[in-house]
Structures are given as structure tokens and as C-alpha cells.
């Protein structure tokens, strides 16, 4: 396993941070938080840095409607005084990505103080940024260290923990989609990183009762799993190990909420619901014989490019052109020769495909685990309409270069 940044988890995170700054001569700091995370932890970090004689400036953002977008990034950069400083993110996914992007573009390093076990966004190099209306993954950099005050994680709102569980448990379906893409589309793949991602997703299932009870040991397992998911993405160089069809579906929902200026959809909650959907498709896959698959595929017709493009432009006009420009896999399958090649490969690799599907949890189990933590388990509970649910399933597969279970289910004519 590659070397990663130092990670401190426990009750002395702030003291560890001050020692880290002194040891590494980080005299000037720029702390970024929102009003909630500043109250929960940021003020303690700020006050400790001042007491230690460090030069600290801060940007405390309004949490209402806060996203990693041009507005929030500009607000952070506007508060920055252009001097070389160590950026300090005190918050969860949104604050971390704002800090990641702003520090990278201003050529500064950053460290992370997680305030909730809500996402796996702490360790990767990429930031999930909404530019215009399109949510994408933008290359930036990883933090040089992470300081986790475990009591802050325990005291964080339970709905954030449920969100984090939904995001982390998807490290069962997402790596599987990555392996399918390798088998069927010859995508680059790393068996060790795949195993690490699956391990993170399976470990969190083992401690779900402890998470529900707020046990420190269980929350530590969860945080380590989230860090590992991020490391897998950083080590591979993109999000493939930890982001599959469930993330693509959730990204469509998140973008539709953003376009409608609607709030209240948490990333991990959306991913958890979409992971249940994805696990349902894997369940169907496990029960399908090669002979039955062959018969279904022989009847499958791929819409031509013009029809697909028109459908995409009608469903998601704000982002369709950018999605089409990436020449997604399903659009490429409109080529008859390519479709015949892929159909043959699916049947040729059927045994390996079945092996990929075997470890995926049953959708009913995912529902029970997520519900036990107070998380949503249906699109309706997210505030997602039936029309939005259909759009996300039908067009999420255009978002990334993944031959995901969502593409496979479409080829097999499943709903």
C-alpha cells in the first residue's frame, strides 16, 4: 500500500495539529469553516492556533445553501490575503472540497479537520465541484495531514452519520462496477485497490450497531473506512474504485436539485438510496443464467446516436451537451459493430461477471442497515419524484466512463 499523509484520530487532535504546525514550520494559516462547523470545532482550532502564536486568518461561510461551486470558492478566495498559508478545512465534504480547490488554485497546501463521518471526501485528490449546472470531479490535491477529533464526530448530527454510512456502504457496489468496466470495456484496473475498497465497504457493515449507538470504536472504523475509500481514489488517480452507478444516479439527483434551487439532499443519503437500487440489479444478475442472458441480449436494440442525444437533451437540457461531448459508453454502443463485440464479450465473461456480483449485499439488507441509522431508503424519502428517479436511472449511465451495472441492466431490459 502506498504511503499516505499522517492521520490522527482521538481526543488530542488539536494539540497534534499545533505540534504538526510547529514541527513543519507552518506559521501562517487560513482556516475555512461554515458557521456550524466553526461552532462545533473551528473556534477551538482557531483559538488554539492564536494561543500558540500562529498567524491565522479565517473564512466562516453561511451554511444555508452552501455548495462547492463558484460562489463559495470565490468567497473563500476573497477572504484569502494572497500570502503563503497552510489552509485548514474544518468541516465535512463541502468545506473540505472548497478548501481543496481554493488551496490548490492558490498553490497552498491544506490539512483537514473532519467534523462528521458524513462522506469519503477527506483524502482524495479530486474535488466534487458544480460548475454551472454540471457536477464533476476536478483534479486538485489531497491534504497533507488529517486531524480527527473523535468526540466531535460522535457529537455530530445523526443524519450526517447516516449520510456517511450510505456513502461508505456503496464501496460494495462501486468497486464491482469498476471491475465490470475492466472486464467488458478493458478499462485500467488494480486488484489491490479493488480489494481495499471492497474491504472498506464490508467493514462498516460489521459495526453498524455500534455506529447506531455512537460507540467510539465503531465511529473510528467508519472514519478509517472513509479515509481508505478516498485513498483508493487518490492511489488510482480517479474515482473509479469508489464511485459507480449509485454515485452517477445520485449526482443526477443532486444536479436536478441544484438546477431547481432546491435544498435538503445530502450526498450520502442519495448515494445510499441509489446503492439499494444498484444492489437490486446485482441481485437480478446473480439469478440470471448465461443462456437466459444470451436470449435477452439477442432481442436488445440499442437506440441510434440521434435518438439517444435527443432523449438526453430533452431530459437534461442544461448539461446534455457536456455529457454528449464525453462520448459515453452507451452512446458508443449505438455502433452496431461495437454492440456485437460487447454482446459477445458479456457472454464470454459471464462466469467472471457472476463472481463480481456474488459479494454485493442484498438490497433488503442495505435498507435495514441504512434505516437503523435513520437514513432514507427510497427516492420518495429523499424528496425525489418518480420522474426524477427515472431520469437518474436512464441517464446517470452517461456521466462517467464506466460499464456499470446500470448499463448492463439496460442491455438486459430491466427497469
Encode pLDDT of 14-69 as tens digits.
Answer: 999 999 999 999 999 999 999 999 999 999 999 999 999 999 999 999 998 888 88
Among the listed residues 68, 22, 397, the one whose alpha carbon sits nearest the alpha carbon of residue 247: 397
Neighbours of 261 (CB within 10 A): 7
Say yes or no: 118 and 133 in one domain: yes
Burial (0-12, 13-18, 19+ Cβ within 10 Å), 15: middle
Q: How far apart are CA 327 and CA 325, in angstroms?
A: 5
* CA–CA gap between residue 227 and residue 117 (Å, rounded): 10
- Whether residue 1 is contained in a domain is answered as no
Using the Cα atoms of residue 249, residue 332, residue 238 and residue 408 in order, give the sign of their dihedral.
positive
Residue 302 belongs to what H/E stretch?
none
Structural domains counted in the chain:
2
Residue 209 contacts residue 396 (beta carbons within 8 Å): no
Retrieve residue 174's grid coordinates.
Answer: 462501486
**Does the pLDDT value for residue 136 go beyond 80?**
no
Cell of 288: 440470471
CA gap 246, 366 in Å, rounded: 13
Domain that holds residue 344: 162-411
**Mean pLDDT computed over 288-294:** 97
Mean pLDDT of the chain: 94
Give pLDDT, residue 129. 83
Q: For the segment 356-371, what is each residue's pLDDT rounded down to a tens digit?
A: 999 999 999 999 999 9
Contact present, 376 and 269 (Cβ < 8 Å): yes
Same domain, 278 and 361: yes
Which of the residue ranges 62-66, 87-91, 114-118 has the most confident prediction, judged by mean pLDDT? Answer: 87-91
Q: What is the CATH number of the domain that holds 123?
A: 3.40.50.1970
Query: Is there a single domain that holds both residue 142 and residue 223?
Result: no
User: Do 320 and 211 have their domain in common?
Assistant: yes
> 71 lies in a domain?
yes
Shared domain check, 130 and 102: yes
Per-residue pLDDT for 104 more than 70?
yes
Enter the C-alpha cell of residue 408.
448492463
List Cα–Cα distances, 44 to 26, 63, 111, 113, in angstroms: 18, 19, 16, 11
Domain boundary among 156, 174, 209: 156
Q: Which of residues 96, 128, 156 is at a domain's end? A: 156
Confidence of residue 1 (pLDDT cuts 50, 70, 90): very low
Report the distance separating Cα 163 and Cα 360, nearest Å.
20
Last residue of a domain, one of 133, 156, 179: 156
Give the alpha-carbon dihedral of 146, 152, 156, 161, to 10 degrees: 50
Q: Is the pTM of this model over 0.85?
A: yes
- The size of the chain, in residues, is 415
Angle of helix 386-395 relative to helix 305-315, nearest 10 degrees, comes to: 140
Q: Give the single-character DSSP code of 25.
A: T
Report helix, strand and coil shares of the chain as percent, to nearest 5: 60, 10, 30
Q: Are residues 275 and 399 in the same domain?
A: yes
Q: What is the CATH number of the domain that holds 377?
A: 1.20.1090.10
What average pLDDT does the segment 289-293 reach? 97
The HSE-up count of residue 239 (CA atoms within 13 Å, CB side) is 22
Assign 3 to helix, strand or coil. Answer: coil
Question: Whole-angstrom Cα distance, residue 297 to residue 292?
Answer: 9
Residue 2 lies in a domain: no
152 and 18 belong to one structural domain:
yes
Residues 261 and 323 in one domain: yes
Amino acid at each position: 500500500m502506498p504511503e499516505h499523509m499522517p492521520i490522527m484520530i482521538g481526543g488530542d487532535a488539536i494539540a497534534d495539529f499545533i505540534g504538526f504546525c510547529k514541527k513543519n514550520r507552518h506559521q501562517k494559516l487560513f482556516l475555512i469553516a461554515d458557521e456550524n462547523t466553526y461552532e462545533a470545532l473551528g473556534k477551538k482550532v482557531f483559538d488554539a492556533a492564536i494561543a500558540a502564536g500562529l498567524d491565522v486568518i479565517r473564512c466562516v461561510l453561511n451554511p444555508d445553501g452552501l455548495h462547492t461551486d463558484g460562489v463559495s470558492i470565490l468567497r473563500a478566495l476573497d477572504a484569502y490575503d494572497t500570502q503563503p498559508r497552510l489552509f485548514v478545512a474544518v468541516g465535512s465534504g463541502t468545506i473540505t472540497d472548497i478548501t481543496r480547490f481554493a488551496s490548490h488554485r492558490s498553490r497552498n497546501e491544506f490539512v483537514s479537520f473532519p467534523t462528521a463521518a458524513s462522506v469519503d471526501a477527506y483524502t482524495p485528490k479530486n474535488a466534487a465541484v458544480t460548475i454551472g449546472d454540471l457536477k464533476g470531479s476536478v483534479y486538485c490535491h489531497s491534504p497533507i495531514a488529517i486531524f480527527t477529533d473523535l468526540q466531535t464526530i460522535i457529537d455530530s448530527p445523526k443524519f450526517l452519520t447516516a449520510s456517511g454510512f450510505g456513502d461508505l456502504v456503496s464501496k460494495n457496489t462501486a468497486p464491482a462496477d469498476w471491475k465490470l468496466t475492466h472486464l467488458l470495456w478493458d478499462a485500467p484496473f488494480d486488484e489491490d485497490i479493488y480489494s481495499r475498497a471492497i474491504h472498506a465497504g464490508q467493514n462498516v457493515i460489521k459495526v453498524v450497531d455500534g455506529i447506531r449507538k455512537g460507540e467510539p470504536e465503531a465511529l473510528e472504523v467508519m472514519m478509517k473506512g472513509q479515509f481508505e475509500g478516498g485513498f483508493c481514489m487518490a492511489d488510482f488517480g480517479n474515482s473509479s474504485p469508489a464511485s459507480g452507478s449509485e454515485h452517477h444516479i445520485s449526482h443526477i439527483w443532486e444536479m436536478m436539485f441544484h438546477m431547481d434551487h432546491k435544498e435538503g439532499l445530502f450526498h450520502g443519503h442519495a448515494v445510499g438510496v441509489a446503492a439499494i437500487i444498484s444492489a437490486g440489479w446485482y441481485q437480478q444478475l446473480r439469478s440470471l443464467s448465461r443462456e437466459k442472458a444470451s436470449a435477452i441480449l439477442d432481442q436488445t436494440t440499442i437506440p441510434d446516436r440521434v435518438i439517444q442525444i435527443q432523449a438526453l437533451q430533452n431530459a437534461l437540457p442544461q448539461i446534455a451537451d457536456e455529457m454528449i461531448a464525453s462520448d459515453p459508453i452507451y452512446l458508443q454502443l449505438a455502433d452496431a459493430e461495437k454492440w456485437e463485440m460487447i454482446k459477445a464479450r458479456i457472454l464470454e465473461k459471464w462466469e467472471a461477471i457472476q463472481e463480481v456480483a456474488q459479494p454485493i449485499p442484498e438490497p433488503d439488507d442495505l435498507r435495514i442497515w441504512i434505516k437503523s441509522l435513520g437514513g432514507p431508503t427510497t427516492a420518495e424519502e429523499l424528496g425525489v419524484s418518480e420522474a426524477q428517479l427515472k431520469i437518474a436511472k436512464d441517464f446517470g449511465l452517461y456521466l462517467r466512463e464506466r460499464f456499470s451495472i446500470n448499463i448492463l441492466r439496460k442491455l438486459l431490459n430491466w427497469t
